[in-house]
Amino acid sequence: MIKDIIQDRRSVFPAQYNDEAITKEEVLSILESANWAPTHKRTEPWRFKVFYGESQVKLAEFMAETYKETTEKFSEFTYEKFKNNPVKAGCVIAICYQRDPKESIPEWEEIAATAMAVQNMWLTASEMKIGSYWASPGVIKHFHHLVEMEAGESCIGLFYLGKYDDALPEGHRKSGIAEKTVWI
């Protein structure tokens, strides 16, 4: 049932991934789910750059070195995370969106539609027993130096995917929906 998949979805981080490969077919299935997200005026703004195999090494090198060159407060721990996490994953997908050139809808709606596409990916990956995690590192603002971006295209995060062995923790919320809802 979809409600169970929603409630069981968790962030699964690269440190939790095992060495089992994710197939291109699995990645394509996850991406296909993204394409069915709601989108105002059918702009379908989501765009994805898939780092799979050797390109994950290039991603890791780019992230680590860009971090080293651009940060004001260098941390060896963060540098090592950038250097290792992309290669620990079975696949990393850059989450981008393409701004409607006509600007027929507010930009936040394009971002929201892209976030819904990612939620579809996350739920599909969860159903497939593939762990995933959305990261938003500061270095993504430099992604145009790594991959070609179209005019009006922006990167808003990285979606890590990996297979895992351990049971995931039970979910919880700080408060129930009744505390966040006003009936009018």
Binding region for FMN: 9-11, 40, 134-136
Chain position carrying tokens 């709601």: 38
Q: How far is CA 92 from CA 5, 55, 109, 159, in A?
A: 22, 9, 24, 6
Which residues are known binding-site members? 9-11, 40, 134-136
Give the rounded distance of the alpha carbon of 172 from its chain centre. 22
Q: From CA 59, how far away is CA 134, in angstroms rounded? A: 16
Taking CA atoms, 104 is separated from 12, 40, 42, 53, 117, in Å, by 36, 10, 11, 38, 20
